[in-house]
Every structure is written in structure tokens, then in C-alpha cells.
Amino acid sequence: MNEIELIAQLTKSLPTNAWVITGAGDDCAVLDSGQPNRCLLLKTDAVVEGIHFLPETQAEQIGHKALARCLSDIAAMAGRPIAALVTIALPKKFDPDFVKKIYDGMSQLAERHGVAIVGGETTTNPERMLISISLLGDVAKDKCLLRSGAKASDAIFVTGELGGSLAAKHLEFEPRLSEARWLADHFSVHAMIDLSDGLASDLRHILHQSKTGAEIFSKSIPISRAAKLRARAESSAKPPLLAALSDGEDFELLFTVSSRDAVPLLDAWKKQFPKLKLSCIGKITAAPGLKLRDENGVRILQSHGYVHFA
């Protein structure tokens, strides 16, 4: 049983209450805040030694990544992060200075985005280090973006470049918080997700929730220079396009808007974020399934991104 199948089984009968607007199945849970115009966002995520970072990874990078993953999910809802709790599980023989530097990395990122770190938990994990972050945020009710709003003929956009996570991007990325809020304030974004498991998998989440399909264009996918260089240097490396489609942890924004907004959005984006690339990579279709158009025509895309337990 892989991660997606396990989550489907675990979440199909979870209890709920009147506070829940959107429960399991999106980037964050959305709760009624008790205020007429705001919703609360809740997110939790974990990084595990040997899976998300290596023993030789710099401590500050570990802390940065642990918090940034949650911040990226808040961004995917066009939200504002507020406060975090940190649970850290350590082997019995740990270096206190190393752990302090992990918290320094978290704190530096938190301060940049106005996030308070308000407590947490410490415990023992005999084999390896684990850090779990729980993050509270909020969002205007009329700006909260879900995965489920994509419509047939929508244009599909992605920020930045893809396929470069293995070249340390996954340890250094900046969550697209300001970009997501700008999008929600200036355009009617129909659906959004952050790219944590890879374009091929995360786009399928939007399609599943929206009950639509998609066609993406191989020549329009923004492939990172790091992915191209890695393919040239290592015979075992994925081809660059496959890396862009299936490598996880790019943490860019993937979203859809009406096709009539595509050109105005591109023009406005260039003025607002001149250093960050924005690419239109395809369109949403009424017919289900994910297809790739390349020089050989249109075919069903078989690639998937990262899946735990697979």
C-alpha cells in the first residue's frame, strides 16, 4: 500500500465538527475562525533524517526546510502564516550545538515571514532525527484557494523552474507566500497547489479534486539548469524533462486561471516579479486523464512524482 492509498483509507471516516470548512485532502485544513471575513489554516509536516535530509546536511538548512515545507502549503492556499509549534525527536547521543543551529535556521526563516515559534515538544527517537512542524495561518474567506476549483479550458501555470531539487534546492527554497497572495488579490485563481511531490503527481491532485483532466506541453515546462547539468554529468540521472515532471520538492506554485486571464497575468507578473519565471504549461480539459503533448503528438502521461511506501 503506497502513501496515497493509505491516506485515502485513513481519512475516509475521520470525525468532523461545525468548525471545519475543508478537512483532509488539501494543502491545509480550513477552519471557521469565528470572524466574518477570515478563515484559519492548519498544517503539519515532518522531515526525517535519511529521507528529507542526510546526516551531513548543515543544521541551519535542516531547520529552514522543516519550517519552509509548511509555509509552502500555507502559500498554496494564498494564506498568511501566524505561529508554529515544533516537535523534535533526537537520538540519545545528540549534539546540543547542532540542535541549536537547527532552531537558528527555523528562526531566521520565521522572522522573515512574521511567524512566531510558540513552543512544541522534545522526545527521543533511537535511530534518527525527526522534526515535525504544526503551523497556524489565516486567509480571507473570499481569497482561500483550494485544489478543487479547476475548470475545463483553464490555463495551467507554474512558477520558477522544475527538476532542480536534488541540487540542494530542496534545502534552500523560499516559500512563495507573497507571490500567492498577490495572485489571489489580483486574479481569479481557480485552483492551486504547491509542488512537493513533483508536477506529474501534484497536478493529478488538482485533477482528482476538480474532476477534470489536463494536457501539458513538453516544450513549455520550465526545466531547471541544474536538471540539465545533472543529466549531462551523470549517466544514471533522469532525462531533464522527466526530472521536471517527477522529482519532488521543487516547492513552486502550480495553479489554474481562466484562459482569458493568461496574457494579462503574464504581463502583470513580469512587472511584479521580474526575477521569478512564470510559465503557462498547458490547459485543463473536460475529459479525465493527464496527457503530454510533444513533437510526437499527444499521449497519456505515465510518469508520477515521489510517493512514500511505493
Res 305: pLDDT: 84
Ordered structural domains, the chain, with CATH = 13-140 (3.30.1330.10), 155-300 (3.90.650.10)
Type of residue found at 167? A
Cα–Cα distance, 236 to 162 (Å, whole number): 19
Res 33: pLDDT: 96
Cα 286 to Cα 96, 127, 155, 207, 299: the distances in Å are 55, 48, 13, 10, 16
Nearest to 250 by CA among 72, 2, 7: 72
Tally the C-alpha atoms within 13 A of residue 244's C-alpha that lie toward its C-beta.
24
Res 310: pLDDT: 66
Type of residue found at 11? T
Q: What would the pLDDT profile of 163-208 be if each residue is shown by its tens digit?
A: 989 888 999 999 999 999 999 999 999 999 999 999 999 999 999 9
Cα–Cα distance, 49 to 64 (Å, whole number): 14
Q: Tens digit of pLDDT per residue, the chain (310 long)?
A: 888 888 888 888 899 999 999 999 999 999 999 999 999 999 999 999 999 999 999 999 999 999 999 999 999 999 999 999 999 999 999 999 999 999 999 999 999 999 999 999 999 999 899 999 999 999 999 999 999 999 999 999 999 999 989 888 999 999 999 999 999 999 999 999 999 999 999 999 999 999 999 999 999 999 999 999 999 988 888 999 999 999 989 999 999 999 999 999 999 999 999 999 999 999 999 999 999 999 999 999 998 887 777 6
**How is residue 43 annotated by DSSP?**
E
State the DSSP string of 210-241. HT-EEEEEGGGS-B-HHHHHHHHH-TTSPPHH
State the DSSP string of 141-155. TTT---STT--TT-E
Question: At which residue does the C-alpha cell 484557494 appear?
Answer: 145
Q: Helix %, strand %, coil % for the chain, to 5?
A: 35, 30, 35
